[in-house]
Amino acid sequence: MDDENEKIDNGIELNENLASNDNNSSHNCAVERKITQTDHLNKQLLNAFLERLNTKTENVQDKECTTDVEWVENTTDETDEITSSLKNGIKLKNVFIIGISGPSNSGKTSLTSCLKKSLPGSAHICQDDYFHPPGDKRLTWIPEVQHHNWEVFSSLDMDSMVRDVKKIKEIWMEEVQDKPSILLVEGFTIFNYGPLNELFDKRYFLVTSKETCEQRRLTRDYNPPDVPGYFDKVVWPHYIQAYSEIMERDDINFIKEDMSKEEIFTQVKNDIDIYLESL
């Protein structure tokens, strides 16, 4: 992979090659199971992002800092307030993790992308980027539909996803900022996986009907592509099971589909703003 000036929307810009063009490299077998229209942070970029942050210099006051970190400029009063808080032993929490979930084609990616654009200092990672590649021995084959089951945790590298989220939080927590850094985590079963679910500060779930999901799914391209019967026999039954496990929880904001995309975005954005202002 030889990408120049690849930019991650949380303010960190990679100005170097992320990997060599070694023809024997195994990195070309990146996760293939993804919707082609999405723009979320892929796993290779996330790993490069974490590596860059781990090796950054301590000289954060130099505006020509080679880490390419776009630091927030505080006013004198704001800086004094933060410094005073630190001197008094107060640990400023400046990292918030927000989960966006829902069934297949419920609008998770669209909502997350809009939130990312409207929330300064935010980044976005997606559960879809942690699917094992087709043919991986950890995948479950379904003879009835002659297709792998992509709806279960065994089809995902959830351990890596949890480690990545924790690492980003750990690195961001070391920084003193006057505004919070926000990590948006999107996925179809992120609230069902305990080690990941416990990391969220806010949770939103887009409740969507079977008819809407099925119609939208027909317009999407998947790799590998869906086979006849996969949605009815695999996707939807697994969603019903996953939803039944979380539907009674009061720590999740369930959003019904009787609103437009704009109304859903406004409701979620306002709720996040109120939450951040209350801290």
Exactly one of 2, 62, 77, 128 is catalytic; name it: 128
Sort 227 into a burial class: Cβ within 10 Å, 0-12 / 13-18 / 19+: middle
Amino acid letter, 33:
R
Concerning whether 128 is annotated as a catalytic residue, the answer is yes
CA distance 242 to 149: 15
The widest CA-to-CA distance across the chain, in whole angstroms, is 66
**∠ at Cα 220 (31, 150), nearest 5°?**
45
Q: Which two structure tokens, joined as six digits, stand for 84?
A: 């005073």
CA distance 50 to 174: 14
Q: Which two structure tokens, joined as six digits, stand for 90?
A: 């107060």
Task: Compute how many other C-beta atoms are within 10 angstroms of the C-beta atom of residue 124.
Answer: 25
Active site residues: 128
